[in-house]
Amino acid sequence: MNPAIPRAAAGLLSALALLCAGLTASTTQEGKPLVLTEMTWTDVRDYLAANDMVIIPLGSTEQHGPHMPLGTDWLAALDMAKLISARTGVVVAPVIQVGYSAHHYGFPGTLGLRPETFEQVLFETAEILVRHGFKRLLFLNMHGGNFIPESAAIHRINQNLAARAVAIGAGSAIQKDYPRAPGVSFDEHAGVGETSVGLFLWPELVHMDRASKPEFRFSPEVQRLMALLPEHPELSALSGALVAVPEETGKGGSSRELTSNGIWSNGDPKTATRELGEKIIMVQVENAVRFIEAWKKAAGADKPPLIR
């Protein structure tokens, strides 16, 4: 401290510093999420005057075992997007509630689009968003079947539009690690982890009395490969060609053929907990918030939007 500053003045400066710190903290507190479909066009105009980011949640409408809703992936993506929006002030623009889910068609209620159709919908939506002034597009995907068409759409956007597109959802570079169900080595679909997420986000839609461990039925070809994996781990490269593929391929790798109830887990979904679900979601939310705030700084656009 400069000794020329009187002690009283120094005390006043310290008090002002604390006040400013308090004001800064209050401006970054969690607010109300911004959802495009709930806004007017004038709200969007005012938002774009200060912020060009948009979060686009992606999921699916597909079977998630006998105990979870068909909209599990979409609902989780939308809820996560809203949590991120409340923390960052970035608007959420829902696009579609279905994805690529052909390997689940053996279960009633599952919907889906061809990969090329899904990609085209994302690209055309991006074209309009960019036309309006959204220049930074953040795709928040929560369905594994969407990874390839999502990646293709992001590539097209970055190569053809005056925009920057990036993935921030499951499987993206910013979501490297998040909590897993303890003691469960395979938990890919409607298992302990996803059931826990449901118990955290919308417990009223989860029917725990119907949850049960699945029985797996692997084709002879897959069984032979699995037996050789300890000696030849490189054979795992064939998994995408044999598992989670449509029934029409004749490989015995569709969800209906592989599992007795649609669940892909060697854990017991009855052991799911709300606490684990909260950890799984909030770690991913924190990762996305940290990325968004860093991108704001990098672009020199760290001002909050004009509306909350």
Q: Is 92 within a domain?
A: yes
Q: Is 230 within a domain?
A: no
Give residue 28's pLDDT.
38
User: Is the pLDDT reported for residue 224 higher than 90?
Assistant: yes
CA–CA gap between residue 57 and residue 62 (Å, rounded): 16
132 to 125, 129, 150, 221: CA distances (angstroms): 11, 5, 22, 51
Give residue 176's pLDDT.
80
pTM of the model: 0.86
User: Is the pLDDT reported for residue 126 higher than 90?
Assistant: yes
Higher-scoring residue by pLDDT: 225, 306: 225
Range of the domain at 135: 31-178+283-299
User: Is the pLDDT reported for residue 109 higher than 90?
Assistant: yes
Q: Which of 9-18, 46-55, 79-88 is predicted least confidently?
A: 9-18
| pLDDT tens-digit map of 75-97 | 999 999 999 999 999 999 988 89
Label residue 17 by pLDDT band (50, 70, 90): very low
Q: Is 19 within a domain?
A: no
180 to 31, 128, 239, 277: CA distances (angstroms): 29, 38, 21, 9
Tokens 């899904």 map to which residue?
A: 118
Helix, strand or coil for residue 67? coil
The number of distinct structural domains making up the chain is 1
The pair of structure tokens assigned to 25 is: 């903290």
Q: Is 289 within a domain?
A: yes
Q: Is 3 within a domain?
A: no
User: Residue 152 is part of a domain; what is its CATH number?
Assistant: 3.40.50.10310
User: Is the pLDDT reported for residue 6 higher than 50?
Assistant: no
Q: Is 204 within a domain?
A: no
Q: Is 304 within a domain?
A: no
How does the average pLDDT of the chain come out, rounded? 90
Mean pLDDT of 219-232: 95
Label residue 303 by pLDDT band (50, 70, 90): low
| pLDDT tens-digit map of 160-193 | 999 999 999 999 999 988 888 999 999 999 999 9
Q: Is 218 within a domain?
A: no
| pLDDT tens-digit map of 247-276 | 999 999 999 999 999 999 999 999 999 999
